Amino acid sequence: MSKLKETLFKKIQEHRPRTQKLLKEHGDVKIGEVTIAQAIGGARGVRSLVTDISYLDPFEGIRFRGKTIPETFEALPKVPGCEYPFVEGFWWYLLTGEIPTMAQTLEVVEDFKARRGVPQYVIDVLRALPRDSHPMAMFSSAILAMQRESVYVKRYNQGMKKDEYWDPTYEDASNILAKLPSIGAYIYRMKYKADIHIHANKDLDFGGNFAHMMGFDKPYDDVARMYFILHSDHESGNVSAHTTHLVASALSDAYYALSAGINGLAGPLHGLANQEVLSWVMKFQQKLGGKEATEENVREALWDTLKAGQVVPGYGHAVLRKTDPRYMAQREFCLKNLPDYPLFKLVSMIFQVAPGVLTEHGKTKNPWPNVDAQSGVIQWYYGLTEWDFYTVLFGIGRAIGVLANITWDRALGYAIERPKSVTTKMLEDVAAQAIKADDLGSD
Ligand code: HAX
């Protein structure tokens, strides 16, 4: 057994009694109530998911296993000569909650290298899709096509015990994750780089090899590491994480579950917003026709979007009530590495203007930028200008978080998900009863 799997198993054994005790002795304790607005409004704020891998505070933002983004970057072993940590060490951290040593990290690096070969039939599937298919449809199809590889399914069919489910889920998760950079890079080069491919480099780590296979020079390897880690996890309620968790709760394997989660990420209100931001900015520049962007014409363009009944992409969030620290982490990267880049300056100007416009518009509960408002600028600067590929980058990162989560879901025996529906009439009846109770109270 690898060191990572051994450590994970130890953590699972330590954790299981906590979940069992909560269920057995405190199962009836209430942690919240559900309103009609929440039932109709996408279960916003309803506490019905449990994860220890990350937690999203509305004002502080994300913490991975208790650490903020800067603390996480600081604590993890760095790739020699680079500023950002190994993605493989981050995978260890998300799974176990422990910062790995360099030796432990390098063991995962080697393990991933051994797992990273992509079967030829996956390439065939990708090549069979029309070349104008969206990269996210390609990415999801590639993951789904590999379902026949599932170790979990083989073990399940042999009659595995429930408390062993985590083990082949971990194997599936590792096998999938190790292949995602190659799959992403293959899609990119097939679609946008004249179908000319670059072989994996056996000396490179997850982020380094991705940059190499994409065909981008340093420091794009660090950009990739930063990007994957930042996008990995945002607690369990977002669409991609929740979908992956939901599908896996039926004991569908990690291939089915992740492919489904990736489909959710492809929505414009979720992960696709990063491509929408770039598309918005480019349309805006086109409209300016060479004129300089000013706060005034940015404000005008934002209002045009809102008046057309559209959302301003990259702004707002279902949980956050301040600027997303993932936005700030990328902004700091830009301030350090590309402070005078015109696109960065324009995005910074939008950051100055948009919160005021959205506040005046008066609808959104959070007028501040989210992760997607900034990420395209960095990609564009380093030469990745094909913005409909951006959500695949997000998807590779998001896979780290959701695969760690479903490994733990199986370890802790989380149940098949099945919330209860009510009818509109039932809601109307409850509302009428509430009015009656109010009237009696005021008599
Ligand atoms: N521009 C215009 N209107 C917005 C808005 C925005 N950026 N954000 C929210 N609103 C509107 C909503 O559409 C909603 O309008 P209706 O009452 O007419 O339905 C109202 O404000 C209240 O919404 P909310 O409670 O503030 O936000 P939600 O929790 O419902 O939605 C979203 C959160 C992120 C989906 C939303 O803010 C949005 O659509 N933002 C733009 C798209 C975007 O950037 N998505 C990426 C989010 C981060 C992420 O998941 N990345 O993957």
Which CATH number does the domain housing residue 189 bear?
A: 1.10.580.10
**Same domain, yes or no: 331 and 197:** no
**Same domain, yes or no: 321 and 397:** no
**Same domain, yes or no: 115 and 252:** yes
**Same domain, yes or no: 170 and 219:** yes
What pLDDT does 443 receive?
A: 65
For residue 341, being part of any structural domain is answered with yes
**Same domain, yes or no: 369 and 292:** yes
Q: Judge whether 101 and 76 are in contact, CB under 8 Å.
A: no
pLDDT under 50 in the chain at which residues? none
What pLDDT does 143 receive?
A: 98
**Same domain, yes or no: 106 and 121:** yes
Closest residue by Cα to residue 38 from 46, 47, 30: 46
336, burial (CB in 10 Å: exposed 0-12, middle 13-18, buried 19+)? exposed
For residue 434, being part of any structural domain is answered with no
Name the helix (H) or strand (E) containing 381: helix 372-381
DSSP helix/strand/coil, 302:
helix
Ligand 1 binding pocket includes 324 (Cβ within 6 Å): no
Residues acting as catalytic residues? 270, 317, 372
For residue 17, being part of any structural domain is answered with no
| Rounded Cα distance, 355 and 364, in Å | 10
Ligand 1 binding pocket includes 69 (Cβ within 6 Å): no
Residue closest via CA to ligand 1's atom 40 equals: 316
Residue closest via CA to ligand 1's atom 15 equals: 363
For residue 15, being part of any structural domain is answered with no
246-250: long-range pairs with CB below 8 Å, 24+: 246/417, 248/169, 248/406, 248/409, 248/410, 249/409, 249/414, 249/415, 249/416, 249/417, 250/416
**Same domain, yes or no: 203 and 296:** no
**Same domain, yes or no: 294 and 257:** no
Q: Which two tokens stand for residue 95?
A: 């799974």
Q: How far apart are the first and last CA of the chain?
A: 70
**Same domain, yes or no: 67 and 126:** yes
What dihedral do alpha carbons 399, 405, 411, 415 form, nearest 10°?
-110
| Rounded Cα distance, 134 and 150, in Å | 26
> What type of residue is 325?
P
**Same domain, yes or no: 134 and 156:** yes
**Same domain, yes or no: 229 and 313:** no
Residue closest via CA to ligand 1's atom 12 equals: 364
| Cis preceding linkage at 219, omega within 30 | yes
| Rounded Cα distance, 441 and 80, in Å | 69
Write the DSSP string, 75-106.
HSPBPTT-SSB-HHHHHHHHHHSSPPPHHHHH
The H-assigned helical ranges of 164-216 are 166-192, 206-214
For residue 432, being part of any structural domain is answered with no
> What type of residue is 103?
A
For residue 252, being part of any structural domain is answered with yes
What dihedral do alpha carbons 407, 413, 415, 417 form, nearest 10°?
-10
DSSP helix/strand/coil, 402:
helix
252-270 as b/e, with b when 16 or more CB fall inside 10 Å? Answer: bbbbbbbbbbbbbbbeeeb
For residue 171, being part of any structural domain is answered with yes
Ligand 1 binding pocket includes 247 (Cβ within 6 Å): no
397, burial (CB in 10 Å: exposed 0-12, middle 13-18, buried 19+)? buried
**Same domain, yes or no: 361 and 404:** no
Q: The CATH number of the domain where 326 resides is what?
A: 1.10.230.10
DSSP helix/strand/coil, 61:
strand
**pTM (global) more than 0.85:** yes
What pLDDT does 271 receive?
A: 95
> 136 CA distance to ligand 1 centroid (A)?
22
User: What residues make up the domain containing 278?
Assistant: 273-381
What pLDDT does 440 receive?
A: 79
Q: Alpha carbon of 80 to those of 102, 204, 215, 323, 387: distances in Å?
A: 10, 11, 21, 32, 30
| Rounded Cα distance, 252 and 244, in Å | 10
| Rounded Cα distance, 138 and 270, in Å | 18
For residue 116, being part of any structural domain is answered with yes
Give the torsion sign (CA, 404, 409, 410, 411). positive
Total count of domains within the chain: 2
> 315 CA distance to ligand 1 centroid (A)?
7
Residue closest via CA to ligand 1's atom 19 equals: 363
428, burial (CB in 10 Å: exposed 0-12, middle 13-18, buried 19+)? exposed
